[in-house]
């Protein structure tokens, strides 16, 4: 069995950490509705309860020993507002297993108030699985793992039908790890040949990188160069092949 297994139909995965089994989700972006309202003029009711219910369903379905948030649990890059902080606090109170937050670029200062473990921005390794949000370069320890899990990118594909209609779907990206882009940051003696998995965003309001649309650039500093033979998979498990040729 693979160390990291996407959950069919869900933007989440389970990970074998050796002595624990984790539920992993990326880019939760609590409080995003306030951001959309004040920054873009889009008025949406809060979906905090829906997000929390979706997490509860995943917990009931997978029975993990730990939950790993793969960065950007918060939406606010600075300190969160009351509603956003309240959403996070209620969410964490509803989870009855230990929680680890792999710190993302939206999680500034979160360790000063949040009630869970927070890793450094360059990630952390648990067993044979490495975790990094993806807004900065991973640590050498993360890169030495058999599987490296990355968020931040919110990968999507644009699918067209025969009559010219189109839709956007969240996807997983999976492929080999190319060590060359990382060597300037962690040393040229890096021996890393693991698998790289880019997670879809848990929050479907975030938008994302359309990986099969010309002119769309990746956000992570090590993508696309760090991903070898990357393939895209829909949430339902459908294999789309090379992400650039979808």
Q: What is the pLDDT of residues 183-196, one digit of tens each?
A: 888 777 777 789 99
| Residues 175 and 229: beta-carbon distance below 8 Å | yes
Q: According to the model, what pLDDT value does residue 160 have?
A: 79
| Over residues 164-172, mean pLDDT | 86
Residue 154 pLDDT > 80 = yes
**129 Cβ contact partners less than 8 Å away, ≥ 6 residues apart:** 3, 4, 15, 16, 17, 145, 146, 147, 148, 149
pLDDT at 81: 62
pTM of the model: 0.92
Q: Please report the pLDDT score of residue 79 as a whole number.
A: 64
Grade residue 198 by pLDDT with cuts at 50, 70 and 90: very high
Stretch 78-92: mean pLDDT, rounded? Answer: 80
Q: Which domain does 53 fall in, by range?
A: 4-245
Tokens read off for 66: 């730990």
d(CA 149, CA 25): 10
Backbone angles phi, psi at 156, to 5 degrees: -140, 160
Express each pLDDT in 102-143 by its tens digit. Answer: 999 888 888 888 989 999 999 999 999 999 999 999 999 999
Please tell me whether residue 127 adopts helix, strand or coil conformation. coil
Number of domains making up the chain: 1
Asked if residue 46 has pLDDT above 80, the reply is no
Q: Is 142 helix (H, G, I), strand (E, B) or coil?
A: helix
């Amino acid at each position: 069995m693979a160390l990291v297994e996407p959950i069919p139909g869900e933007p989440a995965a389970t990970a074998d950490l050796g002595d624990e089994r984790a539920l992993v989700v990326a880019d939760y972006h609590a409080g995003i509705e306030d951001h959309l309202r004040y920054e873009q003029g889009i008025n949406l009711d809060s979906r905090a309860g829906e997000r929390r219910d979706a997490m509860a369903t995943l917990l009931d379905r997978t029975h993990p020993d730990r939950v790993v948030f793969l960065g950007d649990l918060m939406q606010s890059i600075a300190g969160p507002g009351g509603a956003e902080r309240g959403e996070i606090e209620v969410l964490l109170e509803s989870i009855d297993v230990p929680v680890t937050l792999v710190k993302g670029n939206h999680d500034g200062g979160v360790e000063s108030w949040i009630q869970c473990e927070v890793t450094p921005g360059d990630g952390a390794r648990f067993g044979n699985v490495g975790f990094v949000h993806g807004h900065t370069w991973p640590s050498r320890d993360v890169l030495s793992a058999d599987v490296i899990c990355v968020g931040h990118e919110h990968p999507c594909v644009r699918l067209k039908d025969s009559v010219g209609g189109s839709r956007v779907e969240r996807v997983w990206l999976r492929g080999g790890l190319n060590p060359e882009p990382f060597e300037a940051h962690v040393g040229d003696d890096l021996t890393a040949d693991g698998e790289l998995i880019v997670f879809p965003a848990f929050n479907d309001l975030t938008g994302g990188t359309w990986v099969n649309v010309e002119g769309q650039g990746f956000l992570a500093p090590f993508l696309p160069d760090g991903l070898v033979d990357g393939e895209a998979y829909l949430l339902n498990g459908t294999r789309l092949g090379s992400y650039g040729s979808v």
